Amino acid sequence: MPFIIAIDGPAASGKGTIARALAAHFGFHHLDTGLLYRATGAKGGDPVLAAQTLDAGDLARSDLRSAQAGQAASRVATIPEVRAALVDFQRRFATREPGAVLDGRDIGTVICPDAAIKLYVTASDQVRAARRAAELGADPAQMLAELQERDRRDSERATAPLKPADDAVVLDTSDLTIAEAIARAIAQVDRARA
C-alpha cells in the first residue's frame, strides 16, 4: 500500500515547497492539487466542464502561478460540482507506488482522510503576504488583502473548507527558514513511518 502524505494550508504558507522537498527526499510522487483548480479557473467558460476536461496541457500553462489564477481557483473551488470532478483524479494519484505527497486545502480532511501523515502548514498573514509579494513582484499590502479575502472564502465555503484535519500536525513556518521547515516536516514523516 502506498504511503500518503497529506499537506494542507493557506496560500504562501510554504506547503508547496515542503511538499516538493518531501517527495524528492522520500522518492514519492507529488501533486500540487491547487494547480488543478488554478487550471480549471484559468480555462474560463463553464467551470464544471473545464474541470471535467482538464488535461496535462492545462496543467503546464505558464500563467497558473499568477495572483489572478489563484483568485480564479478560489472562486471555482466553491462549486461542489467542480470539486467532485477533481476528487477522483486526486484520489487515483494518491495511490501511486511507492507513495505520494499531495498538497492543497482539503487533502487531509476530504481527499485522503486516511493518509499516513497529515501536515497543516501555516504562517502569519503578514509573513505570507510578504512571501507572495516577493514571489510575484507585487505590493505587500495588496497581497495581504488578497490573501485574507481568499482565506475567508476558502475557510467559509460549504464544501471542503480550509481547516486542519483533527489529527494533523500543525507546522507554523512564520519564523522558520526553508531548510528548517523541511527538516521538521521530514522528522514528522519519519516518525509516522517508524
13 is in an annotated binding site: yes
* pLDDT tens digit sequence for 110-139: 999 999 999 999 999 999 999 999 988 899
pLDDT at 67 (0 to 100): 79
10 is in an annotated binding site: yes
Which ranges of 106-162 does DSSP label H, i.e. alpha helix?
125-136, 140-156
Find the helix or strand (DSSP H, E) in which 159 lies.
Answer: none
11 is in an annotated binding site: yes
pLDDT at 134 (0 to 100): 92
Dist. CA 122–CA 89, nearest whole Å: 25
Query: What integer best gives the mean pLDDT of the chain?
Result: 92
pLDDT at 150 (0 to 100): 86
104 is in an annotated binding site: no
pLDDT at 86 (0 to 100): 92
14 is in an annotated binding site: yes
Domain that holds residue 137: 3-193
pTM for this predicted structure? 0.87
5 — phi, psi (to 5°)?
Answer: -110, 120
pLDDT at 89 (0 to 100): 84
Domain total of the chain: 1
Regions of the chain short of the pLDDT cut 70: none
- All three cell numbers of 134, joined, read 516577493
- All three cell numbers of 132, joined, read 507572495
113 is in an annotated binding site: no
138 is in an annotated binding site: no
Q: What is the CATH number of the domain that holds 181?
A: 3.40.50.300
* pLDDT tens digit sequence for 25-47: 999 999 999 899 999 999 989 99
